[in-house]
Amino acid sequence: MTAAVIDGRAIAAAVRAELAREVAALAALGVRPGLAAVLVGDDPASLSYVSAKAEACAEIGVFAETVRLPAETTQHALLERIAALNADARFHAILQQLPLPAHLDERAVLDAIRPDKDADGLHPANLGRLLRGDPGGPAPCTPRGVMELLARSGVDPAGKHAVVVGRSLLVGKPLAVLLGGKAAGANATVTLCHTGTADLAAHARRADILVVAAGRPRTVTADMVKPGATVIDVGVNRIDDPTRKRGWRLVGDVDYAGVSEVAGRITKVPGGVGPMTIAMLLANTVRAARLAP
């Protein structure tokens, strides 16, 4: 059996087309959604991500501006810039690109973004709404993207056993809450695994839906997957590859070649969850503009 590929690029394109229509409707009312992305330092991956997000904004008509700050920016200076963006009516959403340089307090910076302008859904007020099942706040982009991938691929988590590998605040924890929520497109029984989990393979093999966000290449292999399971690979890892002109390539947290022979559905890296994360950032921005006073 060879798994059916869940095409994140195609699904993200459909989401962006829907959002473009909503942006056009807002424009007719005199509202143009605006996103400010704050980038501290010159990390190549972060630069690439911010550039991709800016291109996606331009595609659907969202006003986007990148605030670039030097790596030596102080905590006080960064918080001042966030405060200015909070007060700037041009921007309905603010994205703080992570990771931050080591001398900066990431939690304090995320907490400083106004909850209604929180593009990533990581403000404690919005995470609290997520935990209690309140749809009033934005959901973190990658977990929301995973839920959209499942829904638009015809995978209903209701009654199924979902296993999430990884407990980060960006992905694992909020995704476990979303999958187990009492709502349409959720209602799964969820197991959250992490570096302290004994016998990860045994837990993974019980999953009808297996989401891997471990941050390590090829953490999940074919022998760890239940035949016919849906496998969502969140990982993005750069590994050496002398056969490539650039000397490296991207792989996920799942051994795609082996797992695709066991799973029923699977995402690729790249081209799976990544495009959906950007699409959900756009969705959060458009939503913020629609709800702005």
Cβ-proximal residues to 143 (8 Å cutoff; 6+ apart), any chain: 171, 174, 175, 178
Question: SS3 for 41?
Answer: coil
Q: How far apart are CA 35 and CA 288, in angstroms?
A: 10
99-103 — which CB contacts under 8 Å span 24+ positions? 99/43, 99/46, 100/40, 100/41, 101/40, 101/41, 101/71, 101/72, 101/73, 103/75
Neighbours of 175 (CB within 10 A): 29
Is 97 a known active-site residue? yes
**What is the tally of helices (H) and strands (E) in the chain?**
10, 11
CA quadruple 226, 231, 235, 238: dihedral positive or negative?
positive
User: Which of these, 59, 11, 13, lies nearest to 35 by C-alpha position?
Assistant: 59
Is 245 a known active-site residue? no
Q: What's the token pair of residue 180? A: 């187990």
Per the residue annotation, which of 96, 97, 118, 160 is the catalytic one? 97
Per the residue annotation, which of 96, 117, 118, 120 is the catalytic one? 120
Please give the angle made by the CA atoms of 228, 193 and 45, to the nearest 5 degrees.
90
Is 120 a known active-site residue? yes
Which positions are catalytic?
A: 53, 97, 120
